[in-house]
Structure 1
């Protein structure tokens, strides 16, 4: 990541560099159905307008139109491995994309649409995590939950850094995640039926004075964290 507020989908191995979202592409994300379409293609892989319409309860004409718009702005492309059929198959753009959200929020010309897009992004990200933790509490005896319960975790660690050190840390972490995730790129439910989509959420941000969290002068400096196996929802 080049900025602390970048949001990106990890690129496939050997894929082109991430697309930097500009103001026009940002506006292309504002429609809520397009966000849902991107989620479907991200989590479940290539699909047609008809397949996506059936999953989302939308007409194929509506999904087809919004898929073409997402393609126009560079977020998706035709899947070259499924050409020649009656319907076009779509996939997420190789290389993914990134967004400098703070810049868009600071610009009066893009602030409103950025608030819409980023607000939805954070709400949906939190909702997916909440749904997992709720499923642990509601259906603890479910075979799927029991299988995954000890594999899932959440963790919070704090450490004192300068902004420059934080940027270096963020880049190193992103490089590691990309390299590790590359081992599993290209898998599908058909090729690996014993797998599920796994989502890793990361945030890196400072606790600024007056930011709503009181300072704790009694606490010693240095790394502090919560062991993911000690009280983390879904961790054990």
Structure 2
């Protein structure tokens, strides 16, 4: 049967993280394991233990717990002597605002979300620091032009913003399909690239909002104009 007659199965949609899975995610080592798998791709418990300064027994246990809650799975493939773990295809979704309001989930949600947003800020800070400290490094110089930083302001209703977010996520998923399954082993000339997006209302009134100069952010290359 040809490849056209037997197309690859579509990637599943994001998993909705409920209260039980959220509590399972709150352990700090599990968050570090997910970060490693997200940035560096599939790995064994031994590889993760070496990277994180933990025993392979500890990382193996927490990988099994993450698998129990649906965050990771064993990478399929014949002839593998070691068990390689990967993130769940399709990712997951945490409805942070709802979970923060629930008395039974508030504490775990605060831990998970603080770690998540802190990790995002730290990784972006590390890139800015690296590009400033080593601008002549050939590897850094390769990426300076590719890295982007932009902000756009538009006016929408909550319903329009929700539809816009769904369309944006669908576009990102579709545009990312050609790169799915790549690893450092299979594509040694590539790096893990992170796309961060936020969509939120500026609810402060004009008398409360800080004054922001009407200039593009550093690295902004053709961001949509304010509406």
Give the structure-2-normalised TM-score: 0.86
Tell me which residue corresponds to 1:203.
198
Which aligned runs of 4 or more in structure 1 are off by greater than 4 angstroms? Answer: 210-213
Bigger relative CO (Cα 8 Å, ≥ 6 apart): 1
Match of residue 144 from structure 1: 139
Map residues 146-225 of structure 1 onto 2, 5 A cutoff: 146-209=141-204, 213-214=208-209
- Alignment match, 1:88: 83
- Structure 1 residues 37, 212: CA separation in 2 closer, same or farther (over 3 Å shift)? farther
C-alpha distance in structure 2 between counterparts of 1:143 and 1:213, whole Å: 45
Aligned partners of 2:208 and 2:180: how far apart in 1? 39
Deviations 1:83-128 (A, max 9, x none): 652x322111122111111110011111111000000000001000
TM-score where L is the length of structure 1: 0.83
Long gaps (5+) in structure 2: 1-7, 222-227
The aligned length equals 214
| Aligned residues of 1:46 and 1:92 also touching (Cα < 8 A) | yes
**What is the alpha-carbon distance in structure 1 between the residues aligned to residue 78 and residue 48 of structure 2?**
16
Partners of 1:49 and 1:213 in 2: how far apart? 50
The reply to whether residue 56 of structure 1 matches residue 46 of structure 2 is: no
Query: How far off its partner does 1:19 sit?
Result: 1.2
1:152-176 residue CA offsets vs partner (Å, 9 max, x unmatched): 0110111111111111111111111
The alignment's C-alpha RMSD in Å is 2.5
Unaligned runs of 5+ in 1: 1-11, 232-236
- 2-structure distance, mates of 1:201, 1:22: 23
